[in-house]
Amino acid sequence: MSWKDFPKVELHLHLEGAAPPAFVRGLAQEKGINLDRVFDERGNYAFRDFTHFLQVYEAATQVLKTPEDYRRLTLAVLEQCAENGVIYAETFLSPDFCGGRDVIAWKEYLHAMKEAAQQAEAQMGITLRGIVTCIRHFGPDKARETAICAAETAGGWITGFGMGGDEGLGRQGDFAWAFDCAREAGLRLTTHAGEFGGPESIRQAVQDLKVERIGHGVRAIEDPALVDILAETGVVLEVCPGSNVALGLYPSYGAHPIARLREAGVKVTVSTDDPPFFNTTMTREYEELERAFRWGIEDFTALNAIAIDAAFCDEGTRTGIKEKLEQAA
């Protein structure tokens, strides 16, 4: 069967990373910005490895200069998500790229993104919530400023705080002030860990930042005691198999640890991370997981149930999405 119309919940999606290449090229042309080093000759995002991926990602964000650009970006991304059956998504938003962490500018960008999300909900039936995200390789001081942006706009549409970027730099605990600030503002917490950092990075995230979800977290598989801890405590992993395969963490979907983590009782969910960068969509993720592990409707229904339970939205929104999932089952 095709998984395209199967209703899906996606928890781990970077807004800039989901920008369709044609959209970025269009903006670059409008603004006279040269993006030769961002795309290959076929027009796809081009990168050699994780570090280069982060550089290309940041280069592509140069075309996104105003709240209006982010309004258009949000609509373009949600169109892609809705086409792939996503009915609820959470997206990482970066005040670093939206006004340079200035709270007043950030509020203007946020207003534009929320308007776009409301329009998409009315027109395409997809619900979006935002997770304000600091960028690890920009360092703890900038993360504090990002957390203040998050705290100033917490509640309602902004439901969480997170961290992406280069896991190789610093320790999770260096960012504790930012995460404490966000928690005190009522935000729910997630951080990238156990992607390019090993199991120790996941232990640090749980102990030092007290997050309830982990972005990726797949390298827990290298530490059986940690797998047990994750299973017992119910920490939810936002697993992005296609991203991990594209960035060379695992040679294939079949070699990916998502099925082993799930069998060990860890709460896993499925997302795309930065779909056009990794030549994926939620439909493709489902197709590849079906092929690799023979997962079917029961498996994907169970994964969606875990994802909506772990979503950072309010209870009313959660109930509405659960009803939509159940109607489709």
Q: State the residues that interact with Zn ion by CB under 5 A.
A: 273
For 251-260, letters b (16+ CB in 10 Å) and e give eebeebbbbe
Provide the minimum distance between the beta carbon of 41 and ligand ADE in the complex, in angstroms, as a whole number.
Answer: 24
- Among ligand ADE, Zn ion, none, partner that 17 touches (CB below 5 to 8 angstroms by kind): ligand ADE
Asked if 164 is part of the footprint of ligand ADE (rule: CB under 6 A), the reply reads yes
For 137-154, letters b (16+ CB in 10 Å) and e give ebebebbebbbbbbbbbb
User: By three-state DSSP, how is residue 49 classified?
Assistant: coil
Q: With respect to Zn ion, which residue has the nearer C-beta, 8 or 216?
A: 216
Its sign, for the CA torsion 317, 319, 324, 328, is positive
Q: With respect to ligand ADE, which residue has the nearer C-beta, 195 or 285?
A: 195
Provide the minimum distance between the beta carbon of 192 and Zn ion in the complex, in angstroms, as a whole number.
Answer: 6
314: which 2 tokens?
Answer: 């309010």
Which residues in 124-143 contact ligand ADE (CB under 6 A)? none
Asked if 69 is part of the footprint of ligand ADE (rule: CB under 6 A), the reply reads no
Question: CB–CB of 175/327 below 8 Å?
Answer: no
Provide the minimum distance between the beta carbon of 188 and Zn ion in the complex, in angstroms, as a whole number.
Answer: 16
Q: What residues have CB less than 8 Å from 157, skipping those under 6 apart?
A: 110, 114, 117, 129, 130
Q: With respect to ligand ADE, which residue has the nearer C-beta, 273 or 285?
A: 273
* Residue of the chain from 192, 256, 262, 267 that contacts ligand ADE (CB under 6 A): 192
**CA neighbours within 13 Å on the CB side: how many for 22?**
3
Listed residue (54, 66, 138) closest to 106, CA to CA: 66
Provide the minimum distance between the beta carbon of 315 and ligand ADE in the complex, in angstroms, as a whole number.
Answer: 29
Question: CB–CB of 69/16 below 8 Å?
Answer: no
Asked if 195 is part of the footprint of ligand ADE (rule: CB under 6 A), the reply reads yes
Q: How far apart are CA 309 and CA 313, in angstroms?
A: 9
Q: With respect to Zn ion, which residue has the nearer C-beta, 50 or 293?
A: 50
Active site residue 195: yes
Which residues in 232-261 contact ligand ADE (CB under 6 A)? 243
Q: How far apart are CA 270 and CA 290, in angstroms?
A: 12
Q: What x-and-dash track marks residues 30-59 binding ligand ADE by CB under 6 A?
A: ---------------------------x--
Provide the minimum distance between the beta carbon of 166 and Zn ion in the complex, in angstroms, as a whole number.
Answer: 12
Asked if 162 is part of the footprint of ligand ADE (rule: CB under 6 A), the reply reads no
Torsion of CA 261, 219, 284, 35, to 10 degrees: 170
Provide the minimum distance between the beta carbon of 37 and Zn ion in the complex, in angstroms, as a whole number.
Answer: 22
Q: How far apart are CA 127 and CA 293, in angstroms?
A: 29
CA distances from 65 to 60, 69, 96, 216 (A): 11, 6, 12, 29
Q: What x-and-dash track marks residues 304-323 binding ligand ADE by CB under 6 A?
A: --------------------
Asked if 273 is part of the footprint of ligand ADE (rule: CB under 6 A), the reply reads yes
Asked if 165 is part of the footprint of ligand ADE (rule: CB under 6 A), the reply reads yes
* Residue of the chain from 17, 130, 217, 257 that contacts ligand ADE (CB under 6 A): 17
Catalytic residues: 195
Residues of the shown chain interacting with ligand ADE in the complex, contacts defined by CB under 6 A: 14, 17, 57, 164-165, 192, 195, 243, 273-274
